[in-house]
Structure 1
Amino acid sequence: MHLSRRLLPICVHVRNASTKAKLKTKFNFELSADVSESLKNGSVKARRHAGRMGVGVVHLPEALSQAAFNTLKDYPEKSLLGDANKLSSYIWSRHAPLEKDEYHHKIRDVEDTIKEQEMVDPSSPHVGEELRGRLLESRKSKVITKMKKDVYHWKPIEYNGYRAAMYVAGRLAPDYASLYRIMAEVKKRDPHFSPLTLLDFGSGVGTSMWAVDNIWPGNCKEAVCIDSSSEMNDMADRLLRGGDPEKPLQTRPGGTFFKQFLPMSSTLKYDIVVSSRSLFELPDMASRLRTIDILWRKTSKYLVLVEAGTNAGYRLIQEARDYALKVGHQSEEERDHLEGHVFSPCPHDMFCPRFFDGSNTPCNFQVSYRPFRFGKYSDTSKDLFSYVVLKKGKRNDVGDNVAWPRIVRAPLCRARHVVCRTCTKYGTLQELTVTKKRHGKECYQISKNSDWGDMFPVELRDTSNSESDSSEPAHPENDLISYNTA
């Protein structure tokens, strides 16, 4: 089992990893009784079962698409789209900056490798001073060259007016699609939730605000958008004005506020707090965890974190997820305010099993969307993203927190059976093989009509033969990683 050095500085221990319940057979489940009954009486069709979380192909709202067109129409279309694609590729390939100890460790490794390749040892007493100086200078030059080649050199993206336009052309549609997909699930599973206030950290061009207003139209009365780039804030404001900076704000029912700095105080809380594609822009782990701490304290109901669906993005999401969960158990005085659980996508609060499965693949999800093309028709594209939605309060297995397994890879439809690759409430990855003979017609139909990212509405049963005697998941305090944020 390989543990990436990216997380080693913060992983002190993972307790009870060997005691998590694991189902012994791949047939050890049955369709949820309510879902089964709804299919039998015809009130719900299999393709629209309760676990379906897909939203189809996501289109930009007409007002946003027109505003983007009005904003970008004066730019040369071909060159802007080419530059936008380059920016998108750069954002996709982003890595978090190396910590200081990681960087020094890498230098030592590179230096040791170069030393082994040297024909003459500069420290030998037989080497003259002049030659020793040249050899040491040569070694230093080789180390620098090797480090430039092998080490990711992080720097924040600085946005000017043109780069903000590039972001609109290249990232507006996929960013909106992933946020729309995530918030549509929140609305479906928690129909009584209706956010009155929004805080968006790293708001960019205001994509989260548009997604919230389209999922809960007319509800959000206050949106606070925080981005360190004044140019991005100006672009977000211009999009709200339909692409004309002289027009009044007509597209939102509530107040909209743009800021460049995140307020430290936790006095004001927001119904939904979002950080989308922003953690990569922070200079080190301490800054990231400090930011997550502030955002979690400002959250009254939901905290939504989204990053690119790469290994690097997935690791930042896991870092933030486990830190926020740990914070909720560290202080008895603040537990009522900081305790929370994973609402989506994980059906558990334990350490992510994907990190230890040896596949070196991220836990990510896919959304289909229609790219922005200056008002012209465009083919459907797909975007991969990693995310977590954290909800304040204790976890329970009823209502919006039902602990059905999450389908984390596309199901495999084979002759007379379907393999659903899931993450379960026991904190394990489990392949659930569905056949009509063993599980019934309804369960088989559900499996054929489920997709990557859906919840699989089955109950895992007969856990008396599992490695753990309890059918309940281990207490999250026993499975969270400990942090050293000094």
Structure 2
Amino acid sequence: MSALLCRLVGAGWRRSAAPPLRDTLRCKSAAAQVQSEFLEGSPHRKHPGVTNLKMLRLPEALQTGALTLIHKSELKDLSERSRKLKNYLWSRKRAVEAPVLREKAMVLERKWMEKELQSDGGDGSTIEAKVRRKVLSELRKETYHWMPLRYDAELAVVYMVARLAGGYAAVMRALNEIKKRDLLFAPRSLLDFGSGLGTALWASNTHWGDSLKEYVCVDASGAMNALAEQLLSGGSERAPLIKHAYFRQFLPVSPKVQSDLVVAAFSLSELPTQKEREDTVLTLWRKTSSYLVLVENGTKEGHQILMEARNTLLKKKEKVVHDSRKPVVFAPCTHELPCPKLLNQPTVPCNFLQSYWPLPLPGNGEREQEKFSYLIVGREEEQREKLGEGELVQWGRLTSPVHRRPRHVQCQICCSTGELKQLAVTAHHHGRDMYRCARSSDWGDRLPILSKEDDTLTEEP
């Protein structure tokens, strides 16, 4: 009897324990199915979140044209001059705003006035003049002296040696985000503000040359426009290699004329005030039909300029609205909340790397890397569907180098919740597919996260 009871109790226990086990297996099966779905049939090393490009080389015609024009210029010390210009452009900061300068001057004036009155009871006007000289001297020492760059024909060639290949690499990588994620995007028109040597023209033509029918390049420098046109002709007198490219020194006046793709690469940092940058960003947005792409140096200054632009687009209302579709951040941000890097690591910019082959000139290495920051904003109607709102799979952005370790991958990821997390991704906690995707991903790629509420994504201690 006792043996029978034992068997019955054992059977009952097994029956009561079975449903939770089945539920667990069912949950694992559902998770595996979701993971298989986000791969979209791609291998892990080419999962949909991979947007990095391999080593980039300038288009052959562009490189040939650049080398021809460089040899024609016969400029002396070109290698050294280009190195100095490259370093100067990288270290360039924003001009100090007038209100900030006035406030700083008032603080210094009060400090020096107190010292002078305590040490010398002389004439008030004499003390005031003395303090004013000291304040001006102090401001000159401590304040960054911003100056506009004016490119003549000679400096334009120096800039070409310094920045042609690196600028092309950064813009190619930024545009590849759209190319990879929006397979239906086939732009017919490009507007490039601050076009310089036309790198955005060449990069967009590489990606969408079959569909683009018009390229409008706007740069205030006539010498830079002339050099960009010569590059289009391969440095010779032959017909342009890319047709329907137009160069202007001013933006088109009509606010109703839009371009499918609008690019401003390394241009906002050349504007002297925050007000001018805000006005320019809003003007470029009015002229955008589908995507606005902004690229800057991957420095603290460059990143903050882009975050200013992001805030302008998301928060400022235009007086006259010509296109009611609102702006939606497409990349690199996975959310529209405040940038966690600015909140948690204010001295560390959100930037990315792209490897490229420089121009084959004396002094240049075999391989270089462009560090840049970028922002892509799209129009609301199309973007909500592309960004996958409401889907179980959300995407995070890898914002630093990925460290592959035995049985886990260390990642810094900007999540769709607006958090910046240090994660140790393992097959056990996050699933085989996510683990293999993490091992195949790199700095700048997106990484799939199973649901916003996935409590397995805990912060690494």
Whether these two folds match at TM > 0.5 is: yes
In structure 1, stretches of 5+ residues that fail to align are 1-29, 467-486
Q: Given that residues 64 and 242 in structure 1 are in contact (C-alpha distance below 8 angstroms), is that contact kept between their aligned partners in structure 2? A: yes
Match of 2:134 among 142, 146, 149: 142
Instruction: Measure, in 2, the Cα distance between the counterparts of 1:450 and 1:200.
Output: 31
Q: Given that residues 32 and 457 in structure 1 are in contact (C-alpha distance below 8 angstroms), is that contact kept between their aligned partners in structure 2? A: no
Structure 1 counterpart SS, 2:154:
helix
Residue 70, structure 1, aligned to residue 61, structure 2: no
Structure 2 counterpart SS, 1:404:
strand
Instruction: Measure, in 2, the Cα distance between the counterparts of 1:326 and 1:448.
Output: 37
The one-letter code sitting in structure 1 at the alignment partner of 2:347 is: N
Residue 201, structure 1, aligned to residue 193, structure 2: yes
Match of 2:407 among 416, 421, 425: 416
Instruction: Measure, in 2, the Cα distance between the counterparts of 1:32 and 1:157.
Output: 55
C-alpha change, 1:80 and 1:32, in structure 2 (3 Å) is farther
After TM superposition, list the pairs within 5 Å mapping 1:257-406 onto structure 2: 257-327=246-316, 334=321, 337-374=324-361, 378-394=365-381, 398-399=385-386, 401=388, 403-406=394-397
Q: Deviations over 1:255-297 (max 9, x none)?
A: 1111111234211110000111111221212111111111101
Q: Deviations over 1:22-59 (max 9, x none)?
A: xxxxxxxx9784553687x9x53322122111101111
Q: Given that residues 266 and 296 in structure 2 are in contact (C-alpha distance below 8 angstroms), is that contact kept between their aligned partners in structure 1? A: yes
Deviation at 1:223, TM superposition (A): 0.7
Deviation at 1:435, TM superposition (A): 1.4
Query: Which structure features the higher share of helix residues?
Result: 2
Q: Given that residues 53 and 453 in structure 1 are in contact (C-alpha distance below 8 angstroms), is that contact kept between their aligned partners in structure 2? A: yes
Alignment-derived partner of residue 90 in structure 2: 92
Residue 211, structure 1, aligned to residue 209, structure 2: no
The one-letter code sitting in structure 1 at the alignment partner of 2:300 is: N
Q: Deviations over 1:2-34 (max 9, x none)?
A: xxxxxxxxxxxxxxxxxxxxxxxxxxxx97845
Deviation at 1:427, TM superposition (A): 1.6
Alignment-derived partner of residue 232 in structure 1: 224
Q: Given that residues 113 and 128 in structure 2 are in contact (C-alpha distance below 8 angstroms), is that contact kept between their aligned partners in structure 1? A: no
Deviation at 1:420, TM superposition (A): 1.6
State the Cα RMSD in Å.
2.7
Q: Given that residues 398 and 411 in structure 2 are in contact (C-alpha distance below 8 angstroms), is that contact kept between their aligned partners in structure 1? A: yes
Alignment-derived partner of residue 27 in structure 2: none
Q: Deviations over 1:199-219 (max 9, x none)?
A: 011010111000000111232
The one-letter code sitting in structure 2 at the alignment partner of 1:172 is: L
Instruction: Measure, in 1, the Cα distance between the counterparts of 2:246 and 2:32.
Output: 45
Instruction: Measure, in 2, the Cα distance between the counterparts of 1:31 and 1:62.
Output: 46
Alignment-derived partner of residue 25 in structure 1: none
Instruction: Measure, in 2, the Cα distance between the counterparts of 1:278 and 1:141.
Output: 36
Q: Given that residues 290 and 379 in structure 2 are in contact (C-alpha distance below 8 angstroms), is that contact kept between their aligned partners in structure 1? A: yes
Structure 1 counterpart SS, 2:53:
coil
Instruction: Measure, in 2, the Cα distance between the counterparts of 1:297 and 1:111.
Output: 44
Q: Which TM-score applies when normalising by structure 1?
A: 0.80
Match of 2:428 among 431, 437, 444: 437
The one-letter code sitting in structure 1 at the alignment partner of 2:145 is: H
Q: Given that residues 395 and 401 in structure 1 are in contact (C-alpha distance below 8 angstroms), is that contact kept between their aligned partners in structure 2? A: no
Instruction: Measure, in 1, the Cα distance between the counterparts of 2:368 and 2:318.
Output: 43
Match of 1:222 among 214, 218, 234: 214
Deviation at 1:426, TM superposition (A): 1.4
After TM superposition, list the pairs within 5 Å mapping 1:457-468 onto structure 2: 457-462=448-453
Q: Given that residues 68 and 243 in structure 1 are in contact (C-alpha distance below 8 angstroms), is that contact kept between their aligned partners in structure 2? A: yes
Q: Deviations over 1:102-153 (max 9, x none)?
A: 110121233344446558545x3xx257xx62x5444333322221121011
Instruction: Measure, in 1, the Cα distance between the counterparts of 2:426 and 2:444.
Output: 21
Q: Deviations over 1:295-350 (max 9, x none)?
A: 101100000011111111111101111211224x667x848534020111011122
Structure 2 counterpart SS, 1:413:
strand
Instruction: Measure, in 2, the Cα distance between the counterparts of 1:266 and 1:365.
Output: 33
C-alpha change, 1:146 and 1:373, in structure 2 (3 Å) is farther
Higher mean C-alpha displacement, 344-353 vs 60-69: 344-353
Larger radius of gyration: 2
Q: Given that residues 343 and 401 in structure 1 are in contact (C-alpha distance below 8 angstroms), is that contact kept between their aligned partners in structure 2? A: no
Identity of aligned residues (%): 35
C-alpha change, 1:38 and 1:318, in structure 2 (3 Å) is closer
Structure 2 counterpart SS, 1:387:
strand
C-alpha change, 1:77 and 1:400, in structure 2 (3 Å) is farther
Instruction: Measure, in 1, the Cα distance between the counterparts of 2:257 and 2:210.
Output: 22
Structure 1 counterpart SS, 2:190:
strand
Deviation at 1:409, TM superposition (A): 1.2
Instruction: Measure, in 2, the Cα distance between the counterparts of 1:195 and 1:260.
Output: 23
Instruction: Measure, in 2, the Cα distance between the counterparts of 1:116 and 1:446.
Output: 64
Q: Deviations over 1:339-370 (max 9, x none)?
A: 02011101112222221114421111111111
Instruction: Measure, in 2, the Cα distance between the counterparts of 1:275 and 1:74.
Output: 29
Q: Which TM-score applies when normalising by structure 2?
A: 0.85
Structure 2 counterpart SS, 1:457:
strand
Higher mean C-alpha displacement, 211-220 vs 456-465: 456-465
Q: Deviations over 1:413-467 (max 9, x none)?
A: 334321221111112212232112222333222111111100002223436999x
Q: Given that residues 296 and 338 in structure 1 are in contact (C-alpha distance below 8 angstroms), is that contact kept between their aligned partners in structure 2? A: no
Instruction: Measure, in 1, the Cα distance between the counterparts of 2:414 and 2:99.
Output: 34
Structure 1 counterpart SS, 2:293:
strand
Structure 1 counterpart SS, 2:147:
coil
Number of residue pairs the alignment of both structures matches: 424
After TM superposition, list the pairs within 5 Å mapping 1:48-197 onto structure 2: 48-76=46-74, 79-115=77-113, 118=116, 120-121=118-119, 124=121, 127-128=122-123, 133=126, 135-197=127-189
Alignment-derived partner of residue 482 in structure 1: none
Higher mean C-alpha displacement, 423-432 vs 296-305: 423-432
In structure 2, stretches of 5+ residues that fail to align are 1-29
Instruction: Measure, in 1, the Cα distance between the counterparts of 2:85 and 2:54.
Output: 26
Q: Given that residues 340 and 394 in structure 1 are in contact (C-alpha distance below 8 angstroms), is that contact kept between their aligned partners in structure 2? A: no
Q: Given that residues 31 and 457 in structure 1 are in contact (C-alpha distance below 8 angstroms), is that contact kept between their aligned partners in structure 2? A: no
Alignment-derived partner of residue 36 in structure 2: 36
